[in-house]
Amino acid sequence: MNNTILPVEKNEDYKGNVIDLTHEGLGVVKIDNYPIFIQGALPEEVVTFKVVKVGKSFAFGKLITTHKKSPHRVESADPIYFQTGTMPLQHLEYSEQLKFKQKQVQNILEKTAELPGELVEETLGMKNPLGYRNKAQVPVRKMKDKLETGFYRRNSHELIPMEDFKIQDPKIDEAIIIIRDILRQHGVKPYDEKRNIGNIKNIMVRRGYHTGEMMIVLVTRTAKLFPLSKILPAILEALPEVVSIIQNVNPKRTNKILGEQAIILHGEDSYTDHLMGFKFKISHRSFYQVNPAQAEVLYQKVLDYAGLTGGETVIDAYCGIGTISLSLAKKAKHVYGIEIVAEAIEDAKKNAELNEVENVTYQKGSAEEVMLEWSKEGKSADLVVVDPPRKGLDPQFIESTLALKPEKFIYVSCNPATLARDLKYLVEGGYTVEKVQPVDMFPQTTHVETVVLMSRVEK
Q: Please write the tens of the pLDDT for every residue from 121-174.
A: 999 999 999 999 999 999 999 998 999 999 999 989 899 999 999 999 999 999
Confirm if 126 and 299 have CB atoms less than 8 A apart: no
Q: What is the pLDDT of residues 284-343, one digit of tens each?
A: 999 899 999 999 999 999 999 999 999 999 999 999 999 999 999 999 999 999 999 999
Q: What is the pLDDT of residues 5-56, one digit of tens each?
A: 899 999 999 999 999 999 999 999 999 999 999 999 999 999 999 999 999 9
CATH of domain 110-125+291-456: 3.40.50.150
The CA-based diameter of the chain, rounded to the nearest angstrom, is: 71
Mean pLDDT of the chain: 96
Report which DSSP code applies to 54: E
Is 3-73 assigned to CATH 1.20.990.10?
no
Domain ranges of the chain: 3-73, 110-125+291-456, 135-272
Q: What is the rounded distance in angstroms from the CA atom of residue 116 to the CA atom of residue 165?
A: 38
pTM score of the predicted model: 0.94
- Which of the two residues, 426 and 378, has the higher pLDDT score? 426
Fold of 135-272: OB fold (Dihydrolipoamide Acetyltransferase, E2P) (2.40.50)
The span from the first CA to the last CA of the chain, in angstroms, equals 53
Residue in 364, 434, 408, 420 with CA at minimum distance from that of residue 119: 434
How many residues can be counted in the chain?
459
Taking the C-alpha atoms of residue 368 and residue 189, their distance in angstroms, rounded to an integer, is 43
Closest CA to 426 of 119, 116, 115, 118: 115
Does 135-272 match 3-73 at the fold level? Answer: yes
d(CA 205, CA 179): 10
How far, in Å, CA of 314 to CA of 380, rounded? Answer: 9
- β strands within 22-157, DSSP E: 27-31, 34-39, 46-54, 59-68, 135-143, 146-152
**CA separation for the pair 335, 359 (Å, rounded):** 6
CA dihedral (167, 172, 173, 174) in degrees, to 10, reads: 150
Residue 319 is among the residues annotated as catalytic for this protein? no
Instruction: Provide the total of helices (H) and of strands (E) in the chain, helices listed first.
Output: 10, 21
Number of CB atoms found within 10 A of residue 125's CB: 17
Closest CA to 101 of 446, 351, 334, 415: 446
Q: Which band of pLDDT confidence, cut at 50, 70 and 90, is reported for residue 1? A: very low
On the question of pLDDT at 4 being above 90, the answer is no
Q: Where are the alpha helices (DSSP H) in 21-130?
A: 79-83, 94-112
Peptide bond preceding 227: is omega within 30 degrees of 0, i.e. cis? yes
For 99-113, the pLDDT digits (tens) are 999 999 999 999 999
Reference 244, options 266, 274, 222, 213; nearest CA is 266
Of the residues 276, 414, 417, 427, which is catalytic? 414
